[in-house]
Structure 1
Amino acid sequence: MIFSMAGRAALLRSLSHGRHRLPFSESVRGGLICAAPAVLAAAWHAPLLCWSAIAAFWTCLCDDSGTRPRERIVQGLLFAVLGGLAAGCAIAAGAVPGLAIVLAGASAWLGALVRCRGALPGLRGLLVATAFAVCAAFPVHGLQDAREYALYFIAGGVWATACNLALWQYSADTRVRAATFAWLYALGSYVGKLAQAPDSRHGAAASRAQLRASLDTMSAAITAAPGAVAPACRRWLADAEQAMALLAGIESLLHSRRRAPQAEAEAATLDLIRAVLERLAEAIDACAADLRRAAKPDAALTAERLRPFAEHAELARESADAEAPSSDARAWRETFMTLCARLATLAADADPDSDTRAAARAADAAASRASQPWRNALHAVVAQVRTHGVFARYAARLAVAAMIAVTLARWRSAEQGYWLALTTMFIVQPTFSQTVRVSSLRIGGTMLGAVLASALALAIHSPILLALAILPLATGTLAARAVSYVSYILFLTSHFVLVAHLGTPVGEPWDLAVSRVLNSLAGVAVGVAASFLAWPEWEQHKLGPAAAHALKCVSEYVQAVLRGRASESADNTPQEQHAEQQAERNAREIAALRRQACLAVDALESVISATRLESLSSNHRAAHASVLMLRLRKLVGVVSPLEGADAALDHADRARLAALAQSVGALLRATREQRAGLRAQLQAADSTESIESIASADYATHARSFFARHIEHEVIDGALAVSMVVPDVLDA
């Protein structure tokens, strides 16, 4: 019952609030662009216009609406021309036995190599290679057909590029506000997950990943904005890193309790936590709604929204203190309330330097874009080939898979065989585990999409009405990319099946759907076999290096936070003698270390998940690595609330934490022979003066120390646990 209520609440929130974070307006524009050629194909009985519809969809798929119009025109026209040349060459080469197969492998190799330049250039290269492979699988050949397919593809690409720039556009402020709204929605989802299961270890893992991705998107949108940005958006960006630190601390604090759930004190504590976090999630959602509705969102409105929550948290803390629990429970509860209060008041203060920092970020981004010409891209591709890098091996693997897929599609002129080549091109990934994961998701989405498209084709007999049905499907395809891969494939399959049905209106819709599913299964089999046999990339070999890198990054961050500075040596130049400048520099450097540590831990978690997909039996090393990953993540969450916590710590607390930084750093860097002695020293230090040793009567006197002593105790516990499991991962 609780699960159903929580699920119903999450669904209602997604429908009423979360739908605004999806790019519906741009998706509708893309849907209109993709549907127009299909409608013309049905009205004029010109099946080749369906090929233009596919080209238009691919052009919309790889269009970066956040860049300058000139760059969008160049990239769109270049993609259209390259795709048209690939399609024409594939069909022209079909007249020579074996030539189209060899060229399909060469185009796949070149297209996959471009992925080393980033996700969007890699997508463009993959789509051009896919256009070649799909046309090579078509049962047509000859110069006349090659010219027509090339021209129709170019026409579709030019049409989409022109419409993407000519139809309704969105200002930089609108994009920034949309990205900030998506960040606030992810932030509210993350806090809501913590409120639903405050005693669960994995309750907010998916929301944490979405939160980080939303933060990157918001930062990129604000950085790329050419003009002024709304103060509320600047405020949230300036506070985002600190908010992430406080949320990591809250999550770690919630997971640190190990008392029996049936105890009355524990139940009261969890109820209190749940109520406070629910109020915080509601306040964040209210801030998101104000940001979306207000013509000129202001930071003062954010402070007004968060003030009632801060008052509620203070009342909850006072009522909890009146119960007079043990000193340990009071310290833990005091720490939790302190973090929540700091999170609530984070965006309330004005930031006079935010304009300066935003301008500096924009200048740095412009300089970075200017320093990346085509020559650098060519050098990166050549370096991949020379060093046999990850993307070079992926390119060779994709080339082999493309040649096999095109051969099977052309063998006996398999019906709808180009779908086999299409599936193979998209499911082959740089590693075997990624290929397996994408394959499983694509099979499910393809089956659901084929059923949906077949039902539409059976219900709608008019070709023009069937073409109009492509509009919602294309819109859903472009919008579903921000939701999940399965929903994206569901709409994508339905969209392509209807386009193909209009292009070749022969046979029953169910026959077409079954043919699509069978060819998809064959394409998945080819892709998985190629990933397994052709220079396979195994994640299990990356486990040790990923664990060592995560340990190094977390160690550097923990030591920096405990010391209160990011480096041991301070700059004594006259310019750096001002305390405010030094504090700002330290905060910036520590935030960078925290982000690096979080990314390293996330990378380790990704490697562990991939390793489990590769192995059919239990992997003890991966199990120990999983424990290490959880402990490292907890260490980051434990110390992150100390960022900028000078007001909550006295000189004695700072001295103790600085000494702890030295001991913890030595333990995390120690060899196998040194770990035993260092663990004994830390255990002795932890037992001499723990939180439980402070009497309840001394709580008022030592209130400021509880915060530091709790963190000290948790850091020692986490460092000892890490030192115990590290040998099983690194020394295995």
Structure 2
Amino acid sequence: MGVDRIALVARRRIIRLLKDYAFSRGVLMVLAILSVLVLSTAVADLPTGVSCAVGVFLVSICDLPGNKLDHLKNMVYGLLLAVVNIVLIQLAHTAGELHVLALPLLVFVTAYLSVFGKRAGLVSFSGLLALVLAYAFPKAGWDIVLSALYIGLGGLWFILLNVIVHPFRYKRYRLGLLNDCIQLTADYLELKSRQVVAQDPDHLWPEVIRTHNRINEIRKVLTDYFLGQSPKQDTLGEQSREGVLYLELVDLVELGAAVPVRPEARQPDTSNTTAELAGILEQVATSLRRVAFKSRNFVSAHPDTLAQRLASLGERRAEGPAPDERGEHYLYILYDNLEKQIGKLRTIERLADTRGLVSHAIFSREAKSRLRPPADTDWSVLRENFSMDSAAFRHSLRLSLVVLLGYLIGRYFSLQNAYWIILTVVVIMRPTYVQSKDRSVERTLGTLAGAVVAAGVVWLTDSHLVYAVIGAAAMPFVFTYLDRDYRISAFFVTLNLVFTYALLHPDAYTVIAYRVVDTVIGAALSFVASRLLWPAWESRSIPKLMVRALDGIGNYLRQESNLYLNREDDSLAYRIARRHAFVYLGELDDSYARALREPVRKRAATESLSRIVTCNHQILSSIAYLGTYLQHHPVSVSHEHFSALINDLTHRLEACRDLLETGHTRPLPPRTETDGALAYFTGPAESEGQQREKRLFLREYRYLRGLIDGLQRELPGRLALARGV
């Protein structure tokens, strides 16, 4: 049984790898390179084929899936920048020492283009690699123009192949992301089920936060895809089904975030019932994971079974001894949350059945118009970031100086393939110290492992056929693991480069030795420069990210209030606010995780930061519960008094925000309206249902107010630490 289980897991991983978009990009690039090499060898010569292969490689860097037009434009821009950079640096190289000035200037300008966003970052990276490869294949005179022409042809060939296979590849990519999103959502719900009953739930927050951030990354990509279609074209049929399934997953994640993690779960009179409810939540996660594993014709009765278990538990809870008021409130909101989750699970299972089509649009035209990013490039970001306050500007300046230093070191010591130093610097160096440090270590470890394996292969055989096969087979894995595990990516890069050069040079061991030496030099330069040259410390950026997160949370709360006060309005503004609140808090989480790995004297007190980040998540969780309750229940409390309590909470959040920005808090408005609202919510009700609603909102208000006040007490100490960094 154990062997069968291992075989099943291995089979699934292999299938996922073969369906992976990054892996298919590597395969497509290898096929494009082999085709141009064979064709050019037949009709021209090998150097022509090598130039075409360089074009294929540089354009493949910009192969980022998404809207078809944006995808195509990104590859074209990457090709144009690469060709221009190669021509300019090679012309400067023919002019003597002029290239020593041209190199850092071109590196700075190219790296600075990344301020336009993720796609621009790939174009920038392609341009930087083009500068490096210009030193690998130096040209002079008319050969510069011919080489640029062949590079352009190779790039266009890859773009053409990409356009041909785009529909098939992107469908797999889209389905793969949906599958990953389902599995991560299942992992998230399972973590929440463990956290609910844990004696120390706080120790699970880091893992919960990491999982939620991974879901956010996939959500951003899928949202951009579904919004990338023209507002005038509403996709129906299969893609519409996928889009509706995605929106159901978004709602399920919100329900998961709203699962209450509170001390009431561990009370003696609630702990047993809480454990049973947590078990049902775990079963929801298991059912969701089964949806991901079976992608065709999967509809089960499991949601009905879970609903029956939940109903049976509710009956037993009603018949048994009642816990105290706080415990009863906690069990009610947990029970209510699970009821909605089971409903979402039932819908997701129905949509996961490929036989069921949905015949309506994913997003309305208004939603697409409001949510789509502007089509025109905002050139003002170049001016706004052109100062030492900008991390992108400091990174570009630092990178240009270190690339120049690496080139001069290689030339002074007459190192073979010294441009590998520059290549290592370009690939490793990142805007922040922690990112550069991590990349330096991962690159070095991957290179050393690759060198050991390459040396073993060279010792076993000197067959050029074996070298060619290993070099070509390694390339798809470079792209597959580039963003997942850079050590593995560096391992395959080393295999590819070593065996490619082993085909051209008789002494393969020398190639391996210089590869290791150049990598270590480049990694050391990157690490030291990130530490000494205008370093970007995460601790300094955290207050700004906290402000942004509080803005997002406050707007989320206001839109929830509007959702209740204006029932006839569309929920689009609420969904936008919800998305921003989770994304902004995810950015704070990422920065906090990196800040923990900074040098001790630059690192803020981890306990204080941890409490603040955890408190933000608890606030967001409670607000998410209010949102789900307002969406799924016909609430009848007074609009005026409900709005007064929400306004009081938003004013308290704004006070925290002001404390972060200015060091002072604005005075809260007079409590006249709040006191009146509290009197209303503690007073008599018109019906038993309204009385329950009053108690629920009053308890949630007091719980949220306590969390926000606790956050405000933590912030002064955090500000003192930030000023001392």
Provide the TM-score with structure 2 as the length reference.
0.80
- For the Cα contact (< 8 Å) 1:35–1:474, is it kept in 2? no
Within a 5 Å distance, the mapping from 1:289-368 to structure 2 comes to 289=293, 292-293=295-296, 306-318=303-315, 324=321, 326-327=323-324, 328-346=326-344, 355=361, 357-362=363-368, 368=374
Q: Distance in 2 between matches of 1:470 and 1:48?
A: 20
Question: Structure 1 pair 690/382, CA: closer, same or farther in 2 (3 Å)?
Answer: closer
Q: Distance in 1 between matches of 2:194 and 2:7?
A: 11
- For the Cα contact (< 8 Å) 1:421–1:523, is it kept in 2? yes
**What corresponds to 1:244 in structure 2?**
253
Q: Distance in 2 between matches of 1:130 and 1:19?
A: 26
Within a 5 Å distance, the mapping from 1:95-494 to structure 2 comes to 95-136=94-135, 138=136, 142-143=140-141, 146=144, 150=148, 153-167=151-165, 169-170=167-168, 176-195=174-193, 198=196, 199=198, 200-225=204-229, 227-230=235-238, 231-250=240-259, 253-254=260-261, 256=263, 259=266, 266=271, 268=272, 271-289=275-293, 292-293=295-296, 306-318=303-315, 324=321, 326-327=323-324, 328-346=326-344, 355=361, 357-362=363-368, 368-369=374-375, 371-372=376-377, 376-377=378-379, 379-385=380-386, 389-459=390-460, 461-481=462-482, 483-494=484-495
**What corresponds to 1:545 in structure 2?**
544
Deviates more, 1:714-723 or 1:605-614: 605-614
What is the SS of the residue equivalent to 2:205?
coil
Q: Distance in 1 between matches of 2:606 and 2:397?
A: 29
Q: 1:521 corresponds to which letter in structure 2?
A: V
Offset at residue 426 of structure 1 (A): 1.9
Question: Structure 1 pair 668/430, CA: closer, same or farther in 2 (3 Å)?
Answer: same
Deviates more, 1:176-185 or 1:628-637: 176-185
Offset at residue 144 of structure 1 (A): 6.8
Q: Distance in 2 between matches of 1:182 and 1:486?
A: 22
1:617-659 per-position Cα deviation (integer Å, ceiling 9, x unaligned): 3745564233222111210111211114245475459777544
Within a 5 Å distance, the mapping from 1:501-580 to structure 2 comes to 501-502=502-503, 504-509=504-509, 511-561=510-560, 564-565=561-562
Offset at residue 114 of structure 1 (A): 1.1
**What corresponds to 2:610 in structure 1?**
626
Q: 1:247 corresponds to which letter in structure 2?
A: G
Q: 2:568 corresponds to which letter in structure 1?
A: Q
1:497 aligns with 2:536: no
- For the Cα contact (< 8 Å) 1:628–1:722, is it kept in 2? yes
- For the Cα contact (< 8 Å) 2:429–2:526, is it kept in 1? yes
Offset at residue 265 of structure 1 (A): 6.7
What is the SS of the residue equivalent to 1:617?
helix
- For the Cα contact (< 8 Å) 2:467–2:502, is it kept in 1? no
Q: 2:713 corresponds to which letter in structure 1?
A: M
**What corresponds to 2:57 in structure 1?**
57
Q: 2:464 corresponds to which letter in structure 1?
A: P
Question: Structure 1 pair 540/481, CA: closer, same or farther in 2 (3 Å)?
Answer: same
Offset at residue 421 of structure 1 (A): 0.4
Q: 2:59 corresponds to which letter in structure 1?
A: T
Q: Distance in 2 between matches of 1:100 and 1:454?
A: 35
Question: Structure 1 pair 91/559, CA: closer, same or farther in 2 (3 Å)?
Answer: closer
1:728 aligns with 2:717: yes
1:333-384 per-position Cα deviation (integer Å, ceiling 9, x unaligned): 3322321221221376799995273444555678833x34xxx44x543554
Deviates more, 1:678-687 or 1:115-124: 678-687
- For the Cα contact (< 8 Å) 1:450–1:493, is it kept in 2? yes
Q: Distance in 2 between matches of 1:324 and 1:54?
A: 75
Q: 2:279 corresponds to which letter in structure 1?
A: A
Within a 5 Å distance, the mapping from 1:18-57 to structure 2 comes to 22-23=20-21, 24-34=23-33, 36=35, 46=46, 49=49, 52-57=52-57
What is the SS of the residue equivalent to 2:363?
helix
Q: Distance in 2 between matches of 1:60 and 1:674?
A: 51
What is the SS of the residue equivalent to 1:94?
helix
RMSD (Å) for aligned C-alpha atoms: 4.6
Question: Structure 1 pair 534/40, CA: closer, same or farther in 2 (3 Å)?
Answer: farther
- For the Cα contact (< 8 Å) 1:55–1:153, is it kept in 2? yes
Q: 2:141 corresponds to which letter in structure 1?
A: L
Aligned-residue identity in percent: 14
**What corresponds to 2:354 in structure 1?**
none
Within a 5 Å distance, the mapping from 1:682-721 to structure 2 comes to 707-708=696-697, 710-721=699-710
1:581 aligns with 2:568: yes
Offset at residue 280 of structure 1 (A): 1.2
Question: Structure 1 pair 356/610, CA: closer, same or farther in 2 (3 Å)?
Answer: closer
- For the Cα contact (< 8 Å) 1:442–1:486, is it kept in 2? yes
Within a 5 Å distance, the mapping from 1:581-730 to structure 2 comes to 581-582=568-569, 584=570, 587-617=571-601, 619-620=603-604, 623-646=607-630, 648=633, 650-652=635-637, 658-670=643-655, 707-708=696-697, 710-730=699-719
Q: Distance in 2 between matches of 1:415 and 1:279?
A: 59
What is the SS of the residue equivalent to 1:505?
coil
**What corresponds to 1:695 in structure 2?**
none
What is the SS of the residue equivalent to 2:430?
coil
Q: Distance in 2 between matches of 1:591 and 1:480?
A: 33
Provide the TM-score with structure 1 as the length reference.
0.79
What is the SS of the residue equivalent to 2:276?
helix
Offset at residue 20 of structure 1 (A): 7.9
- For the Cα contact (< 8 Å) 1:555–1:668, is it kept in 2? yes
Question: Structure 1 pair 363/639, CA: closer, same or farther in 2 (3 Å)?
Answer: closer
Q: Distance in 2 between matches of 1:317 and 1:34?
A: 64
Q: Distance in 2 between matches of 1:337 and 1:388?
A: 49
Q: Distance in 2 between matches of 1:323 and 1:460?
A: 76
| Structure with higher RCO (Cα < 8 A, 6+ apart) | 1
Offset at residue 274 of structure 1 (A): 4.7
Question: Structure 1 pair 125/677, CA: closer, same or farther in 2 (3 Å)?
Answer: closer
Q: Distance in 2 between matches of 1:401 and 1:482?
A: 24
Q: Distance in 1 between matches of 2:93 and 2:654?
A: 61
- For the Cα contact (< 8 Å) 2:181–2:218, is it kept in 1? yes
Q: Distance in 2 between matches of 1:134 and 1:246?
A: 50
Question: Structure 1 pair 217/592, CA: closer, same or farther in 2 (3 Å)?
Answer: same
Offset at residue 386 of structure 1 (A): 7.3
What is the SS of the residue equivalent to 1:421?
helix
* Structure 1 spans left out of the alignment, 5+ residues: 295-300, 571-578, 692-698
* Structure 2 spans left out of the alignment, 5+ residues: 199-203, 352-356, 683-687
What is the SS of the residue equivalent to 1:293?
coil
Q: Distance in 2 between matches of 1:197 and 1:274?
A: 9
Q: 1:276 corresponds to which letter in structure 2?
A: I
